[in-house]
Structure 1
Amino acid sequence: MEGKILIVDDDEKIRNLISIYLDNEGLTTIKAESAKEALQLLKKNHYDLILLDIMMPEMDGIQACMKIREERNMPIIMISAKSEDMDKIQGLASGADDYLTKPFNPLELMARVKSQLRRYTKYNTGGITTSEIEIGNLLINTESRQVKVGEKEVRLTPKEFDILELLARNKGIVMSVSKIYEAVWNEDSFKSDNTVMVHITKIREKIEADPKHPIYIKTVWGVGYKI
């Protein structure tokens, strides 16, 4: 598998360890010891995925993720020693696509990296080949992965786009939280409720005129979501 990965962590040992794992899989790694250094690198280079530590001095990973999401949509995997649900929710709400808790298993790290890279470079269209899905004023281009509401382009993270496309391709069908999670994250839906909810909330904030009264993504209480 090919890919250029930016590793951002203030711990040199962690940076080097992750780099060894990824290099052994044929991936190209670049290391940054701070969020500010990472932002400087992003101004000059393209990366296919970012591994971003949360607990860093000066600018933490949450702030850095929000800053990156202003302009870039490559996958971001948060890495943190914090394992509480609220910490994960905060990380995902800032725009991250996945969250990995330290200490992590190298095999799990690689599985998550590969999963994100696959979805970023070649998203499974579910057998439907049309590149555009139009629902009211909402236009989704599955080839360019662009979303427009009217004439306004909306920037979604890779995971947000995948969820929106999944719902749009199944228009009118209620998708359970577990089905959404399994289809988009490609893993079992254990404790997936908060993860999906956070991403749905972020999508609504971007595509709905009034997120509290959505016209596109509807909640079917006790069941899931539908367009």
Structure 2
Amino acid sequence: MTAPILVVDDDPKIVSLVRTYLEREGLRVITAADGRGALNAFTEFRPALIVLDLMLPELDGLALMRIIRERSDVPIVMVSARGQVADRVYGIHEGADDYLAKPFSPAELVVRVKAVLRRAKDANGGHDARGILEHGDLTIDLDRVEVRRDGEPVSLTPAEFRLLVALVQARGRVLSRQALLDSLYGPAQGEALERTVDVHIGRLRDKLGEQVGEPRYIVTVRGLGYRSVA
């Protein structure tokens, strides 16, 4: 049976609306109204993706996401009435793959959910066998979706993995933030924040052990974007 989409929100009207739109697309949906219930549902059903409200009773969305991120790289689309740029950046920094401000269009949410699912599928071997990329002391297995640094595994989210692959495959060519956004969401997601790329790049650098001012893998090109270290 296909893994479900877990929708977590304490507003039953929003849950019902989102469920209706997702099920129209043939997606199986389970729901939870609070953080504790969501954690139980995550443990029991192992969803393919989580639509997660930020403000929840029992256990808020950020706390829940941190717990889940310790256990899984399951894609998370966060929704919240907090729609400022700083709120979106913070949500993505804490582990969300996408962030949608309330009130939102259910149709737009469906598009974003499908885009994140597609990205996760591609990152987990949805394409034909593609082989191994070597970059310095990094080994990137495109088929197993694994990254190793000096032989030691590096745990990356699907978004971080796709960014790293895009940069390494560019072989030192500068990629703009928009080009990197396209590698994450596809060209149709033009409204996604370019700042999102900076957040993902920052987390990727941390996981690869880069020191400030001493880039080993990723170089910032001021005003243009990023490139891999040649």
TM-score by length of 2: 0.90
1:69·1:157 contact (CA, 8 Å) conserved in 2?
A: no
The answer for the alignment partner of 1:47 in structure 2 is 47
CA displacement at 1:38 relative to structure 2: 1.6
Corresponding residue for 2:119?
A: 119
Q: How does 1:15-94 map to 2 (within 5 A)?
A: 15-94=15-94
The 2-side partners of 1:112 and 1:26 are apart by 15
Aligned length: 225
CA drift of 1:64 comes to: 1.4
Q: 1:57 to 1:213 in 2, by over 3 A?
A: farther
Q: Do 2:93 and 2:199's aligned partners in 1 also have CA atoms closer than 8 Å? A: yes
Q: Which residue of 1 aligns with 2:197?
A: 196
1:204, 1:196 → 2: CA distance? 12
Unaligned runs of 5+ in 2: none
Q: CA deviation at 1:189?
A: 3.9
Shift of 1:57: 2.5
Alignment of 1:204-219 (within 5 A): 204-219=205-220
Following superposition, the deviation at residue 100 of structure 1 comes to 0.9
Please give the per-residue CA displacement for 1:181-201, whole angstroms capped at 9, x wherever unaligned.
122211354463311101100
CA contact (8 A) 1:10 1:56 kept: yes
Give the CA deviation at 1:129: 5.2
Q: CA RMSD in A?
A: 2.1
- Contact 2:124-2:145 within 8 A present in 1 as well: no
2:151 matched to which residue of 1? 151
Partners of 1:119 and 1:29 in 2: CA distance: 19
Cα distance change of structure 1 residues 100 and 150 upon mapping to structure 2, 3 Å threshold:
same
CA distance in 2, matches of 1:128, 1:16: 37
Unaligned 5+ runs, structure 1: none
* Cα deviation digits, residues 125-181 of structure 1 (max 9, x gap): 9x9953221112212111221222123222211111111111111121110111111
Matching residue of 1:185: 185
Q: Which amino acid aligns with 1:196?
A: V
Q: Is the 8 A contact 1:208 1:214 kept in 2?
A: no
Q: CA deviation at 1:106?
A: 1.8
**Cα pair 2:3 2:46 within 8 Å, conserved:** no
Within 2, Cα distance between the matches of 1:211 and 1:82? 31
The residue type equivalent to 2:40 in the other structure is: Q
- Provide the C-alpha distance between the structure 2 equivalents of 1:157 and 1:58, rounded to a whole number of angstroms: 27
